[in-house]
Chains A and B, each alone.
Chain A
């Protein structure tokens, strides 16, 4: 059987990868022909990054086999993958910014004089120049990396791959931060490499990339491979459908509540380089969902409202009054709570107890003339433990020993302890298990019913569709679609999230 597969340079069969509480990849099949460009597409969290990490040897699969030119191989670590001449170029090149182009290209495999063991810099520079020329670039080999544009850095990374005669080249979101012109150049380089027999795996959110240069496309969804098609044989519409086409099988219990007065109004909010002209309003009892791809500026909007990185322009009004929020302390005093996406980095004090985490935002209000008043704190923490059903032996338990879902609940408890009127929740259920997810959704629903306004940023379509009263889609820092709960579909959201930047006009959605 194996012999019949030898037209493939790389073949993955039944690859599964488990992380604690998460099945990142589930029986994924993928194959790569010699001299083709094979695109992998999927929503955020579909498993693309994990798959790449398995191919580059960063992670080892828990199940399944990898075949290289028909032979079974095991990539214990990235060095082994490198030996099979597999290279990757990332969106933000992981290079050494203070070293020169030549040093970056030959890092790890310098040209050394066989007798004297001397580094042959002149030869390396010449070789670097030749490689860069072959890619149609005139970057100076002695320039330092940080003096180059992102596009140029990517070209250097590609040159580095060529310097080890890469046979498999992985390009992860290569065009995400490139201009139109640079994108065209990159396409040409990719085609040229393919014609020279290099096999390219292209990860991209941009359908333009896929249709422009890829030969075949594999769709991942929820860690499973949905299928592989020739690009010429699948329409964009079908591709989108394959990406999002799961049933909404979890129950998202946002109950219908009559919306109250306007709590928050944002007008023309802009921050140079991150987002521009953001306007929306949030009413009591409402959940406004922010959809869009990672990097579309949703988090930045949320953080500017919370005062972490205030906007340059625009107005924020709370209950009709214009306010200026310069730091999180002020935001909290205006009744805004923010659940950060990265709870470990931005939300939790791991070695501290649940109690200390829950009360930190309101500790000043709990003191008795400035002195800590433990009974008061314990009362609130115990109430929160019960309200959010945090599974822990008690409020004195360190947060580091809780599960991801319970840690997330502790961050939520910290927010609720401050009695906010407006909650901003950034990926509230990211990385939590199904049970905790349902619990967090129920809590959100209850809070909305109590008259809080909630802004929810989520990359999960079912969550957005199930929980939001209003859905705002962002793309590259702008709002590209606003839908009511009733008119929104996964396809419409996905189109708004990816299609705006395409050269062809966006089809009008009826």
Chain B
């Protein structure tokens, strides 16, 4: 049960003195990210809602990226993946990422096709 904790986050930019301190630091960071998300969700700046990237609003991209950032810190510091061997970490992280990326690609592509059928396919559904 040897447990050494790696106490650095942000690629070594921030180093904590103890594991407890690191936990509080990560909480502060996660709270900040959530606050930014909610703030953006309420303010909805036009810069992010009017511009699109790959067919999705910039605002939604920001939300998704911030979510992945939060997920990273929950998994790495709360579930202490940071302290696990890299083989275990990779097995846990890359398996779902690979499978889910495939699922997202195939289902959203199909959904977009159905959307176009509803729209242009001589089919009335809004009556």
On whether the two chains bind one another, the answer is: no
